[in-house]
């Protein structure tokens, strides 16, 4: 059996074996009761048998017996046929979401994991393909990134560490789906780093197994031959536009690139050699745990070789359409925050199936 990264079966919760046993036992008891009831209903009394002296009386008895059998027949749900209970995809409990958010805030204070939590939410949602209607084949924010097969995609290198950080919270709040937890953690990380409040909604349904993970290749590369075309190919497929591409790129104000994971950047710089958190990596900004518009300022000024600029970063000031927004955000942090907040919320909903359909608001 293929297992998830944390040793649980990817097809069901850790309680599924017990649920399966109980389901089978309950079914046996129900069927036994049904059989007993049926036997009682088809056993006429001796006096009634003696009174049946004609064929018409016999026919009447048979009709009554058949009617009673129909009344005592029991419909057994198909979930019990194999003795294995299927996993029900359920929406998250609002009260647990609220408390989980507080736990995420505490996690951020002690681990400084803001950047990787933002990335986790993005990469779960960023597989969405607007040209595919069927859920979950269309990809998007559905919790599929918890499975090993998707974690092994090259673009997701290192994200197993984010899952390890969040798994205790998931264990604690079992009525929060992975899909919601990933997006809750991502939005909370932005807000706690000083970024804008993001108008989130919850109630995303989880996929149930690794066979529902998207194929590799839906996420953007850092150094494609034609950066502008590549960004548009990937983000237009999600239904996003040039303004949203540039605004979302601004989240690189948080975090570092590690060459052992992405193949980009330096092992460490003067800004990362002492942490906080695990030392090393190559950051896009000086204060790489503060969410602001310095990403755009630093790319525009090109003043520090210890700050990372990927081909997909530089193109924001080279492409005429992208440049309009990049210049605007470099000059106006409030405008950046507004557009980023809207774009992040839109990204977090891509491809998701909500229960209830309108979603759940926490505020």
Report the catalytic residues.
123
Structure tokens at 29: 């008891």
φ/ψ of 360, rounded to 5, equals: -125, 125
Structural element, H or E, at residue 314: helix 311-318
Residue 185, CA distances (Å) to 146, 159, 177 in order: 14, 13, 12
125/183 Cα distance (integer angstroms): 8
φ/ψ of 301, rounded to 5, equals: -80, -25
Q: DSSP secondary-structure letter at 51?
A: T
Helix (H, G, I), strand (E, B) or coil at 223: coil
Measured between its terminal Cα atoms, the distance across the chain in Å is: 41
CA 97 to chain centre: 14
277/112 Cα distance (integer angstroms): 6
Structure tokens at 76: 């057994």
Cis ω on the peptide bond leading into residue 356 (within 30° of 0)? yes
Contact yes or no for 114/283 (Cβ under 8 A): no
- Give bridge partners of residue 282 from the DSSP assignment: 257
75 contact partners, CB below 8 Å, separation of at least 6: none
93/177 Cα distance (integer angstroms): 9
Interior CA angle at 265 toward 263 and 267, to 5°?
95
């Amino acid at each position: 059996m293929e297992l998830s990264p944390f040793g649980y079966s990817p097809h069901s919760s850790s309680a599924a074996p017990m649920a399966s046993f109980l389901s089978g036992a309950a079914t046996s008891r129900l069927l036994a009761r049904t059989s007993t009831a049926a036997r009682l209903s088809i056993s006429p009394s001796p006096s009634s048998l003696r009174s049946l002296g004609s064929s018409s009386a016999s026919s009447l008895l048979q009709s009554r017996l058949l009617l009673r059998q129909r009344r005592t027949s029991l419909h057994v749900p198909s979930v019990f046929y194999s003795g294995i209970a299927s996993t029900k995809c359920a929406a998250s409990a609002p009260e647990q979401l609220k408390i989980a958010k507080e736990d995420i805030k505490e996690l951020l204070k002690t681990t400084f994991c803001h950047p990787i939590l933002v990335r986790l939410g993005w990469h779960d949602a960023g597989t969405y393909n607007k040209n595919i209607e069927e859920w979950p084949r269309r990809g998007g924010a559905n919790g599929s990134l918890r499975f090993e097969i998707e974690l092994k995609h090259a673009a997701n290198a290192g994200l197993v560490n984010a899952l390890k950080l969040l798994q205790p919270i998931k264990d604690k709040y079992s009525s929060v789906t992975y899909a919601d937890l990933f997006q809750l953690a991502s939005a909370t990380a932005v807000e706690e780093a000083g970024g804008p409040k993001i108008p989130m909604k919850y109630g995303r349904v989880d996929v149930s197994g690794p066979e529902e993970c998207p194929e590799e290749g839906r996420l953007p590369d850092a150094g494609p031959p034609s950066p502008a075309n590549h960004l548009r190919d990937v983000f237009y497929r999600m239904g996003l536009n040039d303004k949203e591409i540039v605004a979302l790129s601004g989240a690189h104000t948080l975090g570092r690139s590690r060459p052992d994971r992405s193949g980009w950047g330096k092992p460490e710089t003067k800004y990362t050699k002492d942490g906080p958190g695990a030392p090393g990596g190559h950051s896009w900004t000086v204060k790489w745990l503060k969410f602001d518009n310095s990403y755009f300022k630093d790319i525009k000024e090109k003043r520090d070789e210890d700050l990372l600029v990927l081909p997909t970063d530089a193109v924001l000031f080279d492409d005429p359409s992208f440049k309009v927004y990049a210049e605007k955000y470099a000059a106006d942090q409030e405008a950046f925050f507004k557009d980023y907040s809207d774009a992040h919320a839109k990204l977090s909903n891509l491809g998701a199936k909500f229960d209830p359909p309108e979603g759940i608001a926490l505020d």
